[in-house]
């Protein structure tokens, strides 16, 4: 009653065509350094972990035979042969597969398969052959935490992630010692770099006459007004002694002894441009630049130049980009009903080149009479009302180019309703007190015509000493102890999980303590269903290439 292997294979029976990927299959009899044997494996398997001693040919034959046994349109989760049983689950274009013996408990195998199906998206955000190949070894380590010697361990997704991320005390100590040595070396480098910079500044001052009396520039001797402690010799033009640490350069000596027929006033007047010009004459220090490249914060003595250019924004990839964005504000009643439901949308235009600015944009909408559209004052409103074409009143005037953010807004719309059936997400919360504990059941539902991404439902909790006891959840959860909030997250809501439930237990509390519940999500489908049909050039020529971005996001979404 054991699991022989846990694998991820492609539905087509063909693996990755790119020759640089190495299949993450591990056999009991295959050394990990034998890369040639790994590359020559069956191309149907992407990742496979064996939990019993078996040969390479045996497991390769099992995995190669599975795609031929799966029938199209069958609603089964297992297939039995003479020797083994396949328990599988589709994951987009892949299969998550358990190979077991026929005496294995299929209920326990299904529970193991369900846990593995939750782990795969945690480590591979791209559920395709390339994404699985990049995270092959992380998936193998996670499989080892779930299955030991063919038997399922009593673990959860959170525990598996914690076990895979754990570090040893010796490793942490080694990293701390190594980081301390790196920090000490950087400190020494910064001190040396600072000393070098100061010496260069002082040398530049000496080269430009900063330490000499201006009256002595034309006399051929150095003024000895610094006193005997400065170490200056009384002989004319001999320069500084050992006390100051600087010598008189030949250029300064030549300048002070030969006036070249200049007026006397020019000798005593301060030379133009020879004062301290911080940030202009100092050369860039290579040590400081290397430290800055490593992320160190360097406090320099020089002032930054005024009017430094800001980093340029990322250039647009398409000549014309149109962005459809809707913000939704919803307030739901905990007993049912809608208090507030407002959708506000905008259509923005970004143009990269000036020659593509003489255009008109033709759109189409869902035709919902509850949505009120309002065009920009510079738009030809008759043209928009009759033909759904957005164009300027003056056709000889181009659209602005080089706009930041999402560009210039061409169209805005607003929709307000109290119809609960069109809500993208409904949330029901049922707290019930039983003795010294409160059982909280929360359920979400979505309509069939909209998919939601990055869904996070935040439930406020009373002050707790420890995390709540989550007994059942469809998705993942996280407890924010600082704000006393339980966050229920679902990466994607589609046809496979239109509804989900969460059940947790906390000490006895007032049911109103679990409100207001807030939600955040995004979607690629909007209520207005505004689509760009075509971009029409006004001055002839080819139609410029255009792209459309569509986003529905929550601004406020609460159950009060």
Statement: residue 492 has pLDDT above 90: yes
pLDDT at 290: 61
Cβ proximity of 533 and 548 under 8 Å: no
Q: What is the average per-residue pLDDT within 428-449?
A: 90
pLDDT at 282: 44
226 occurs within a structural domain:
no
**Phi then psi for 484, rounded to 5 degrees?**
55, 60
Whether residue 144 is found in the same domain as residue 46: yes
Whether residue 106 is found in the same domain as residue 11: yes
Whether residue 332 is found in the same domain as residue 396: yes
Q: Where among 165, 184, 200 does a domain terminate? A: 165
Statement: residue 54 has pLDDT above 80: yes
- pLDDT, one tens digit per residue, over 175-208 is 888 998 999 999 899 889 888 988 888 887 766 5
- Give SS3 for 484: coil
Task: Provide the whole-model pTM.
Answer: 0.45
297 occurs within a structural domain:
no
64 occurs within a structural domain:
yes
**Phi then psi for 539, rounded to 5 degrees?**
-115, 30
Structural domain of residue 75, as residue ranges? 3-165
Cβ proximity of 95 and 44 under 8 Å: no
Statement: residue 222 has pLDDT above 80: no
Q: Which tokens hold the place of 154?
A: 């009593």
- pLDDT, one tens digit per residue, over 85-105 is 999 988 888 889 999 988 888
179 occurs within a structural domain:
no
* pLDDT above 90 as % of the chain: 25
Q: Where among 140, 165, 190 does a domain terminate? A: 165
What are the percentages of helix, strand and coil residues in the chain, rounded to 5? 25, 30, 40
Q: Which H or E element spans position 216? A: none
**CATH number for 349:** 2.60.40.1170
Output 20 or 224, whichever has higher pLDDT: 224
Q: Which tokens hold the place of 263?
A: 């007026």
Whether residue 13 is found in the same domain as residue 138: yes
Instruction: Give the whole-angstrom CA distance, residue 113 versus residue 110.
Output: 5
Which pairing describes strands 371-375 and 408-416: parallel, antiparallel, or unpaired?
Answer: antiparallel
Q: Which tokens hold the place of 387?
A: 């033909």
User: What is the average pLDDT score of the chain?
Assistant: 76
Whether residue 110 is found in the same domain as residue 10: yes
Instruction: Give the whole-angstrom CA distance, residue 127 versus residue 186.
Output: 42
Cβ proximity of 485 and 458 under 8 Å: yes
Q: Where among 165, 185, 205 does a domain terminate? A: 165
Instruction: Give the whole-angstrom CA distance, residue 137 versus residue 47.
Output: 8
Whether residue 11 is found in the same domain as residue 84: yes
pLDDT at 514: 92
- Would you state the torsion angle of the CA atoms of residues 339, 340, 341, 345, taken in this order, to the nearest 10 degrees? 180
Whether residue 490 is found in the same domain as residue 551: no
Cβ proximity of 296 and 186 under 8 Å: yes
- CA 218, distance to chain mean position in Å, is 66
186 occurs within a structural domain:
no
Whether residue 505 is found in the same domain as residue 537: no
pLDDT category of residue 404 using cuts at 50, 70 and 90: low
Exposed/middle/buried for 502, CB within 10 Å: 0-12, 13-18, 19+? buried
Instruction: Give the whole-angstrom CA distance, residue 361 versus residue 374.
Output: 15
Which pairing describes strands 45-50 and 151-152: parallel, antiparallel, or unpaired?
Answer: unpaired
**Phi then psi for 217, rounded to 5 degrees?**
-65, -30
**Phi then psi for 242, rounded to 5 degrees?**
-70, -20
Helices in 306-459 by DSSP H: which ranges?
381-387
Cβ proximity of 63 and 11 under 8 Å: no
Whether residue 21 is found in the same domain as residue 161: yes
Whether residue 10 is found in the same domain as residue 128: yes
Structurally, the chain folds into a number of domains equal to 3
pLDDT category of residue 240 using cuts at 50, 70 and 90: very low
- pLDDT, one tens digit per residue, over 269-327 is 444 444 444 444 444 456 566 656 655 555 544 443 333 334 444 456 778 888 999 99
pLDDT at 466: 87
366 occurs within a structural domain:
yes
Statement: residue 515 has pLDDT above 90: yes
Residue holding tokens 């009060």?
A: 560
CB hemisphere CA count around 283 (13 angstroms): 8
Examine residue 330 and say whether the peptide bond preceding it is cis (omega within 30 degrees of 0).
no
Q: In what order do the strands lie in the sheet with 469-473?
A: 426-434, 437-445, 499-507, 469-473
pLDDT at 405: 64
263 occurs within a structural domain:
no
Instruction: Give the whole-angstrom CA distance, residue 255 versus residue 335.
Output: 93
Helices in 410-460 by DSSP H: which ranges?
none
Instruction: Give the whole-angstrom CA distance, residue 511 versus residue 31.
Output: 59
535 occurs within a structural domain:
yes
Cβ proximity of 523 and 493 under 8 Å: no
Of the candidates 2, 74, 11, the one whose C-alpha atom is nearest the C-alpha of residue 44 is: 11
Cβ partners under 8 Å of residue 247, min gap 6: 239, 240
**CATH number for 113:** 3.30.450.60
Whether residue 142 is found in the same domain as residue 52: yes
Q: Which tokens hold the place of 172?
A: 């942490």
Residue holding tokens 């229920």?
A: 488
Cβ proximity of 24 and 120 under 8 Å: no
Instruction: Give the whole-angstrom CA distance, residue 134 versus residue 492.
Output: 22
Q: In what order do the strands lie in the sheet with 84-91?
A: 24-26, 45-50, 3-10, 94-101, 84-91, 78-80
Whether residue 439 is found in the same domain as residue 509: yes
Calculate the alpha carbon distances from 325 to 109, 157, 344, 389 in Å: 45, 35, 8, 19
- Give SS3 for 393: coil
Instruction: Give the whole-angstrom CA distance, residue 203 versus residue 200.
Output: 5
pLDDT at 537: 87
Lowest mean pLDDT among 87-96, 233-242, 333-342, 515-524: 233-242
């Amino acid at each position: 009653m054991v699991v022989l292997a846990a694998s991820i294979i492609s539905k087509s029976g063909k693996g990755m065509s790119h020759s640089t990927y190495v299949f993450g299959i591990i056999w009991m009899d295959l050394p990990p350094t034998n890369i040639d044997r790994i590359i020559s494996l069956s191309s149907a398997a992407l990742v496979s972990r064996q939990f019993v001693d078996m040969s390479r040919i045996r497991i390769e034959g099992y995995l190669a035979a599975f795609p031929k046994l799966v029938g199209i349109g069958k609603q089964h989760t297992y297939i039995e042969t003479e020797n083994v049983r396949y328990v599988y689950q589709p994951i987009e274009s892949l299969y998550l597969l358990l190979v077991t013996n026929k005496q294995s408990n299929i209920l326990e195998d299904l529970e193991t398969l369900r846990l593995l199906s939750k782990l795969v998206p945690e480590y591979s955000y791209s559920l395709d052959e390339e994404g699985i190949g990049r995270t092959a070894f992380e998936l193998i380590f996670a499989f080892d935490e779930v299955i030991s010697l063919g038997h399922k361990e009593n673990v959860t997704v959170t525990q598996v992630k914690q076990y895979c991320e754990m570090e040893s005390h010796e490793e942490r100590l080694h990293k701390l010692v190594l980081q301390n040595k790196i920090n000490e070396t950087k400190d020494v480098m910064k001190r040396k770099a600072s000393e070098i910079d100061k010496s260069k500044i002082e040398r530049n001052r000496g080269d430009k006459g900063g330490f000499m009396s201006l009256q002595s520039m034309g006399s051929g001797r150095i003024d000895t007004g610094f006193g005997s402690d400065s170490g200056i010799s009384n002989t004319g033009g001999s320069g500084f002694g050992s006390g100051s640490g600087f010598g008189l350069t030949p250029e300064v000596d030549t300048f002070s002894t030969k006036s070249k027929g200049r007026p006397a006033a020019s000798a005593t007047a301060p030379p133009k441009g020879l004062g301290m010009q911080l940030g202009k004459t100092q050369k860039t220090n290579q040590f400081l630049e290397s430290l800055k490249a490593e992320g160190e914060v360097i406090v320099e003595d020089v002032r930054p130049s005024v009017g430094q250019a800001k980093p340029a924004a990322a250039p647009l990839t398409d000549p014309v980009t149109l962005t459809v964005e809707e913000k939704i504000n919803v307030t739901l009643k905990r007993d049912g009903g809608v208090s507030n439901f407002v959708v506000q949308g905008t259509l923005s235009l970004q143009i990269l080149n000036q020659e593509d600015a003489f255009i008109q944009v033709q759109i189409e909408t869902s035709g919902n009479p509850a949505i009120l559209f309002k065009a920009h004052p510079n738009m030809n409103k008759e043209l928009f009302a009759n033909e759904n074409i957005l164009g300027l009143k003056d056709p000889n005037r181009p659209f602005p180019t080089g706009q930041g953010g999402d560009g210039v807004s061409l169209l805005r719309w607003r929709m307000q309703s109290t119809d609960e059936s069109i809500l993208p997400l409904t949330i029901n919360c049922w707290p019930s007190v039983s003795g010294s504990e409160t059982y909280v059941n929360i359920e979400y539902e979505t309509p069939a015509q909209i998919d939601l991404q990055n869904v996070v439902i935040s439930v406020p909790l009373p002050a707790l000493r420890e995390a709540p006891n989550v007994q059942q959840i469809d998705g993942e959860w996280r407890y924010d102890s600082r704000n006393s909030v339980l966050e229920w997250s679902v990466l994607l809501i589609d046809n496979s999980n239109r509804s989900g439930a969460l059940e947790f237990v906390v000490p006895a509390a007032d049911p109103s303590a679990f409100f207001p519940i807030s939600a955040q999500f995004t979607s690629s489908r909007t209520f207005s269903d505004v689509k760009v049909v075509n971009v029409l050039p006004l001055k002839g020529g080819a139609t410029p290439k255009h792209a459309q971005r569509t986003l529905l996001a929550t601004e406020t979404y609460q159950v009060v």
